[in-house]
Amino acid sequence: MYRPGPRNLITDVPGFTVGHATDERVQSGVTVLLCAKDWPAGVDVRGGGPGTRETEALAPENLIGRAHAVVLAGGSVFGLAAADGVAAALSAQGIGLTLRPGSPAIPIVPAAVLHDLGNGGDKAWGLEPPYRALGASALRAAAADFALGSVGAGRGAMAGLMKGGIGSASIDLGGGLIAGAMVAVNSVGSALMPDGITYWAWPFELDGEFGGAKPPGAQTDMGNPEPGGSRLPGSGNPGANTTLGVVACSAALTTAECRRVAMMAQDGIARAVRPAHSLLDGDTVFALAGCAVAIDDGARRALQVSRIGSAAADCMARAIARAVYRSRSPQGIPPHG
């Protein structure tokens, strides 16, 4: 039987830590995934209104294809500055690519942002948005344990008409192969079925990690194509909603394989949120390879990569449900338990 890793967090994958910085006055924040080294990384953007940075550096046909950290941030376009704070701090520690001795280390810090500008927090920052400092602060907080729910990049987020937030989940596939996901859920779509009780992701739940609610009875009409609980009928702000995800695995994958895993992990969004990938979402998934475990180099490699992608999709669906579940619970509960 398959079980989550010990923390049921993306940090169960060796070589990754996560830190949050939250500004309660602004009702926004930043979440940083820090890599122990520059791991192979890919990205897949599927939303109609994305806000991103350094995604082209992760294209398989380009030079770099690796990342030192990944930043998720609130603040819409202003949140992109969080990656500045992270990149400067990492470089000051000597972390980054060194193209020439004596010149600054060049950290590759891909980032994606979500829109939380209209959530009632104090956004009167004028020329000094808080995100650069929040990025540096989140980086300092990076650790194996981190909170879920209404924190960090998920502090100001909404999942359809409910509170969104940060979620994470992991799975131990055996033989040292571990996959995990982390997500900031700010979707147009709802994470709940039209009954308002059952998570779309229910079939993927492990160990009651998001409450154990089972699907409704036969008399409930689930066929209504109007996405119940979503903001689709009401919202008029393209680019105002986003599910930002990161998946990681312990396998040694190439950049192109990371991209395939990111593509498959988007299916976890599709299975946990309805609708997803609309013009009004900025859905983006990063995938990183911790390179602790070698996988087959022969004919079975495509199978192995696909199996990892399928597990990553499951983790993504679970992480989304956990984000909403933890954001509905009181603050301060332990991140796992």
Q: What minimum distance in Å lies between the beta carbon of 318 and its own copies? A: 8
Alpha-carbon gap, residue 272 to 269, rounded angstroms: 5
Alpha-carbon gap, residue 131 to 52, rounded angstroms: 14
Of 12-20, 34-42, 152-160, 263-271, the segment contacting its own copies by CB under 8 A is 263-271
Of 18-26, 83-91, 158-166, 265-273, the segment contacting its own copies by CB under 8 A is 265-273
Closer to its own copies by Cβ: residue 36 or 302: 302
Using CB under 8 A as the binding rule, whether residue 310 contacts its own copies is answered as: yes
CA angle 74, 311, 190 (to 5 degrees): 45
Of 24-32, 90-98, 118-126, 214-222, the segment contacting its own copies by CB under 8 A is 214-222
Q: What minimum distance in Å lies between the beta carbon of 290 and its own copies? A: 18
Q: What is the contact mask toward its own copies in residues 238 to 257, using x (rule: CB under 8 A)?
A: x-------------------
The only residue of 57, 71, 264, 323 in contact with its own copies, by rule CB under 8 A? 264
Using CB under 8 A as the binding rule, whether residue 161 contacts its own copies is answered as: no
Q: Which of 3, 1, 8 is nearest to 321 (CA)?
A: 8
Alpha-carbon gap, residue 330 to 337, rounded angstroms: 14
Q: Residue 235 is encoded by which pair of tokens?
A: 């919202």
Note if the bond before 275 is cis, omega within 30 degrees: yes
The only residue of 235, 252, 254, 292 in contact with its own copies, by rule CB under 8 A? 235
What would you measure as the largest C-alpha separation in the chain, in angstroms? 70
Q: Which of 174, 324, 297 is nearest to 243 (CA)?
A: 324
Catalogue the E-assigned strands of the chain: 16-23, 28-45, 52-53, 66-73, 111-113, 158-159, 162-163, 165-172, 178-186, 242-251, 284-293
Closer to its own copies by Cβ: residue 127 or 299: 299
Alpha-carbon gap, residue 49 to 161, rounded angstroms: 19
Q: Residue 292 is encoded by which pair of tokens?
A: 């602790």
Of 112-120, 126-134, 306-314, 324-332, the segment contacting its own copies by CB under 8 A is 306-314
Q: Residue 225 is encoded by which pair of tokens?
A: 């194509």
Using CB under 8 A as the binding rule, whether residue 160 contacts its own copies is answered as: no
Of 112-120, 286-294, 311-319, 323-331, the segment contacting its own copies by CB under 8 A is 311-319
Residues forming the site for its own copies (CB under 8 A): 1-2, 46, 48, 171, 173, 188, 193, 200, 202-206, 212, 214-215, 217-218, 221-227, 232-233, 235-236, 238, 260, 263-264, 266-267, 270-271, 274-280, 299-300, 302-303, 305-307, 309-311, 313-314
